[in-house]
Amino acid sequence: MKCPVPIRTPRRGFTLIELLVVIAIIAVLLALLLPAVQQAREAARRVQCTNNLKQLALALNNYEHFNGAYPMSMLDVPEYVMNSFSYIVPLLPQLEQQPLYNAFNFNLNQSMPQNTTIAGVNLGMIQCPSDPDAAIPVSVDSFFGGTVYTTQHNSYTCSGGTWYIHAIDPVRLGQQNGVFLRFMSARMADISDGTSQTIGLGERALGVFPAQDRWWYDWWTNGYFGDTIFTSLYPMFAIRRITDVSPDGLGNDPWGDDTSSMHPGGANFAFMDGSVHFIKDTIDTWLPDPVTGLPPG
């Protein structure tokens, strides 16, 4: 007697419609998941940015402890003082960068050939990870004999207060009211509002500038306006509120003297007590003339 042979049912594959449905479901899930992943990455970058500012604030207080005063926003050195060393350079030993500090010649301007090779050193601790443009080096003119050199950017500018004048006139210099002064040093005892109520450092992002203008801003060794100093004379993200980018009657650059970031909704600021706070860009501030950048009145 022969055993019955089982009849095999042909294996059925996906139809085209079923395949399209599966692909559509996967696409929807990815669309829902991607913003969450991007938000998680931005949160991590913001935490790293906060840590960078904390390290800088700690270094500033250590510097004040050992030297009796905070570093100048721009060091007083010979040769073209309008383009002198930034606050970051004297702070390098407190950032565990003593060999880099020793390599500078402080008898010469930071744009002199003897110092320009150091400007090309990339310091990740002074760059916000949310602003990738800050890590891109740029070729600039040294102002001395047309020598071109490579410099790196920074993301953290020091506060020149509400009144910062880019001048060498003693009367105007005496009107400065920030923690970080041009050619002068402030002490902790000079902070009359208390260290927990006084901003020392704030972000400025290269990514907010038009691509063709980014090379001009935030050179880390340079204490000139638009590089390592900000003033609250201008509101946060002034580039969105002021149309004229030329320096105003005070010698300032409305776009380059403000604060900004690539974080959604505001920027990180380090206070002089070492704390770091995120300040929203909706904070109340005077609104300058949208063309000249000058404050009202």
pLDDT per residue as tens digits for the range 212-260: 888 889 999 988 778 999 988 888 998 888 776 555 555 567 788 889 9
Mean pLDDT score, 93-121: 88
In a domain, 19, yes or no: no
Q: What is the DSSP letter of 193?
A: T
Q: Which tokens in the block code for residue 219?
A: 């050179």
In a domain, 296, yes or no: no
Residue 1 confidence class, pLDDT cut points 50, 70, 90: low
Please give the Cα distance from 119 to 140 (Å, whole number). 11
In a domain, 292, yes or no: no
Beta-bridge partners for 278: 268
Q: Give the range of the structural domain holding residue 115, as residue numbers without chain letter.
A: 36-280
Q: Which amino acid is at 40?
A: A
H helix intervals, the chain: 16-67, 88-91, 98-102, 113-119, 170-173
In a domain, 267, yes or no: yes
Who wins on pLDDT, 267 or 35?
Answer: 267
pLDDT, one tens digit per residue, over 3-61 is: 555 555 555 666 777 778 888 888 888 777 767 666 778 888 999 999 999 999 999 99
* Model confidence, pTM: 0.82
Q: Which residue has the tokens 């509120």?
A: 241
In a domain, 176, yes or no: yes
In a domain, 127, yes or no: yes
171's CB contacts (< 8 A; 6+ apart) are none
In a domain, 236, yes or no: yes
Domain tally, the chain = 1
